[in-house]
Amino acid sequence: MSNFKVCAARALDGVSGGMAAMVLIAGGIALKWPDAVRSNIPASCVPWLLGVVMFGMGLALRGRDFALVLSRPRDVFIGVAAQFTCMSVLAFVVSKALALPDEVALGVILVGSCPGGTASNVIAYLARGDVALSVTMTACSTLLSPFMTPALVLLFAGSSIDVDASAMFVSIVKVVIAPIVAGVAINEALPRFSAGIRRAMPAFSSLVVAIIVAAVVAASSSRLRDAAGPVALAVVLHNVCGMLLGWCVGRLCHMDPARRRTLAIEVGMQNSGLAVSLAATHFSMMPLATVPGAVFSVWHNLSGAVYANFCARRTDAIRNTSRAPRRKCGRIEP
């Protein structure tokens, strides 16, 4: 039985660690056979699937997990402020610099105005980052999203597009906040039950994220081909510059390397599934608005995985060097 548990744990870790590959494969399948994917996973399922991911996030949290806000308020405040400020401003600047059409610009701004993505916690762990800070930042930015996301979209896109901020607030509460609150409540009320399924939630959430990507890409497949170049460039610039700015904010605030890379990941990785859901729900007359979120869903998981691998190798190399015996005066020092 113990061997089975070990194998199961390794399999779950493998699924979680292979999220970037799953997302890439899911996106490729959706582009190759969009009709088949649409018939089995319609875009209308995206809010429900996103709710499942948020519920899993809630199951991984307890009230005491927010104690970090009280014990390290400076780190959390800096991180959440950088999350919303850097990515929303970058979205606006990139859209203007590339002269993107209003529909595409709206999609980029939606991505930039959303909270941190749930995959960022896995990436922070793989990157040898500060996982507690990552989880708290994601949770706090998510809880603030009903207020911040509509306000930022209204600020940066409201002059050219009609934005119903109150309707977006209600959508985010339904799709994001309610499932998280339900997950936290179950975790507090039934800790043994939640502990039994919590171990599998990262792997399950990774699979659901891949399904969301497939649904989004399939629904936008024809538009993706038409606007692939500008959208891909905008998404890459947005994500890479966001990660760089996050790292720079950590450096300017004198954070240690683990916290700096956590800020880079949290700032650069967005809840693009929420962006797509909001675009499809509230801007259905502008179908291209869903495309940036679809591309971001694929790209930020890939870039995050590459960055995590680089950070992990670098950290391990530094640790191994510091532990290596040193030669001094003809003898080896430990």
The ranges assigned to domains in the chain are 45-319
100: nearest Cα among 302, 295, 299, 298: 295
- Extract the tokens encoding 247: 């790292």
Query: What is the reported pLDDT for 240?
Result: 95
How many Cβ atoms from other residues are within 10 Å of residue 246's Cβ? 25
pLDDT at position 195 is 74
Task: Please state which of the ranges 26-30, 108-112, 151-155, 326-330 shows the lowest mean pLDDT.
Answer: 326-330
Q: How far apart are CA 297 and CA 204, in angstroms?
A: 17
Higher pLDDT, 93 or 217: 93
State the Cα–Cα distance between residues 260 and 93, nearest whole angstrom. Answer: 24
Asked if residues 313 and 131 have their Cβ atoms less than 8 Å apart, the reply is no
Cα gap 119→304, rounded to integer Å? 9
Please report the pLDDT score of residue 332 as a whole number.
44
More confident residue, 11 or 195: 195
What is the per-residue pLDDT across 5-40, written as a single tens digit (0 to 9) for each? 556 556 555 555 566 677 778 878 888 898 898 888
CATH annotation of 45-319? 1.20.1530.20
State residue 295's pLDDT score.
Answer: 83
Q: Of 240, 246, 244, which Cα lies nearest the Cα of 84?
A: 246
pLDDT of residue 205: 74
Centroid of chain to Cα 252: 24
pTM of the model: 0.81
Tokens of residue 246, six digits: 């996050």
Which pLDDT does position 315 carry in this prediction? 78
Over the stretch 200-222, which tens digit does the pLDDT of each residue have?
777 777 788 778 778 877 877 77
Distance between CA 308 and CA 262 in Å, rounded?
A: 10
Q: How far apart are CA 146 and CA 143, in angstroms?
A: 7
Predicted confidence at residue 323, as pLDDT, reads 59
Q: Check residues 217 and 169 and name the one with the higher pLDDT.
A: 169
Q: Which residues pair with 326 in a beta bridge?
A: 333
